[in-house]
Structure 1
């Protein structure tokens, strides 16, 4: 068993046994790495997996916390999210997420890719727009996580804060038909196929196509 897998297993057990109370701060990485007898890099891989699974959350400069991220957890860009329109958010996503997909193709581990394929399948199996929204958000955030760039992750979390705004939700609920959800799920698979094949250019192109389709459906649903 890889040391990162061992760290993931032990931390998962600790969380299940409530060794860390919900929303409590975990020990610093150096202390956890020493306690589990793993490298800092191996520990970070395990923490990335747990974060993608919604078992822990991180706040830059404050640490790692047990449990899922609270709805009102502060982010570095929280001061702008309240006044950002869906159109502005989609424009920013189009500028950033294709590059995230490119980076993921070069950096994601096989285990991370496997986990993301699982998220795609769960999204495809979701039976309603609200469930789809949850799995869709987790998929895109998992892509950002594998880049290992915490500033990008902070920016991405601001996108998710905007997605939770009522205006955004109303737009999404109106257009997320079963056919469109299936179309987006297939686009997610196309992105992941490119990442799995280490084709950075194709991953970037597939993500750009996906975000453009999302923007078109939300801002001009007649097309």
Structure 2
């Protein structure tokens, strides 16, 4: 578990902000329930709520009683959109969600190989390093989410990024069931580490078809682990 940080309120706020950013949460995304945030961030309920209130006052999040906490400014239609994506996610099986990802994300990687900037490449490198250094599965999953969104951002196409964000919001509502894990953190030979690095290398080499294939192979590998 992460070190508890009740005595360090500014650090608690910074940790929550990092969690939102590195977890790939975008405008309109719903954050996990308080109980899950408490466990993942290693802080008390009171400290978490204080940090949430600070972000809400700053307009970084908004809360809807009975529905949850959402990222970004509140707009009249945002709650309806979020509800629609959540409802859709609850109707999908995990396999259908993986099939949808296989349709979109390899194409995003291919576009990233054409359009990625130096800044985008640096961000991709950072997420792969942080994923390898993750001390818990929760930390790894946050970096994994950030990696995939950074690939989408590197495509330099606002419409494709919007498609990815909608897919990601829907993915969070899918019921995935319990995944059995033997370790508290990903093992050193966790296959996604090398797969992510292969994607980054293909993008860095400006090889669109190799980037497409590397992302496809990665998602198929994940799917094979989830659905043996």
TM category, shorter: 0.5 to 0.7
1:130 is aligned, of 129, 138, 151, to: 138
**TM-score, length of structure 2 as denominator length:** 0.61
Q: What do the CA deviations read for 1:10-35 (whole angstroms, capped 9, x no partner)?
A: xxxxxxxxxxxxxxxxxxxxxxxxxx
Q: CA RMSD in A?
A: 3.6
Supply the distance in 2 between the matched residues of 1:180 and 1:82 (Cα, whole angstroms).
33
| 1:127 CA drift (Å) | 1.6
Instruction: Please say if 1:151 is aligned against 2:171.
Output: no
SS in 2 for 1:168: coil
Question: Residue 196 of structure 1 corresponds to which residue in structure 2?
Answer: 204
Question: Residue 33 of structure 1 corresponds to which residue in structure 2?
Answer: none
Matches within 5 A, 1:84-95: 84-95=92-103
SS in 2 for 1:198: coil
Supply the distance in 1 between the matched residues of 2:218 and 2:211 (Cα, whole angstroms).
11
Supply the distance in 1 between the matched residues of 2:90 and 2:163 (Cα, whole angstroms).
14
Greater shift after overlay, 179-188 or 114-123?
179-188
1:102 is aligned, of 106, 110, 129, to: 110
| 1:181 CA drift (Å) | 6.7
Question: Residue 193 of structure 2 corresponds to which residue in structure 1?
Answer: 185
2:147 is aligned, of 116, 133, 139, to: 139
Supply the distance in 2 between the matched residues of 1:185 and 1:103 (Cα, whole angstroms).
22
In the comparison of the two structures, how many residue pairs are matched? Answer: 168
**TM-score, length of structure 1 as denominator length:** 0.62
1:218 is aligned, of 212, 218, 226, to: 226
SS in 2 for 1:167: coil
| 1:178 CA drift (Å) | 2.6
SS in 1 for 2:91: coil
Distance 1:56 1:130, change over 3 A: closer
Supply the distance in 1 between the matched residues of 2:203 and 2:62 (Cα, whole angstroms).
27
Supply the distance in 2 between the matched residues of 1:55 and 1:67 (Cα, whole angstroms).
14
| 1:97 CA drift (Å) | 0.9
The runs of 5 or more residues in structure 1 that have no matched partner are 1-50, 60-64
User: Is the 2:202–2:210 contact (alpha carbons within 8 Å) kept by the matching residues of 1?
Assistant: yes
Matches within 5 A, 1:1-223: 57-58=26-27, 67=60, 72=70, 74=78, 75=81, 78=85, 79-165=87-173, 167-168=175-176, 170-171=178-179, 174=181, 178-179=186-187, 182-220=190-228
Q: What do the CA deviations read for 1:120-178 (whole angstroms, capped 9, x no partner)?
A: 1001110221111110001001111122333322332233334434732623x548873
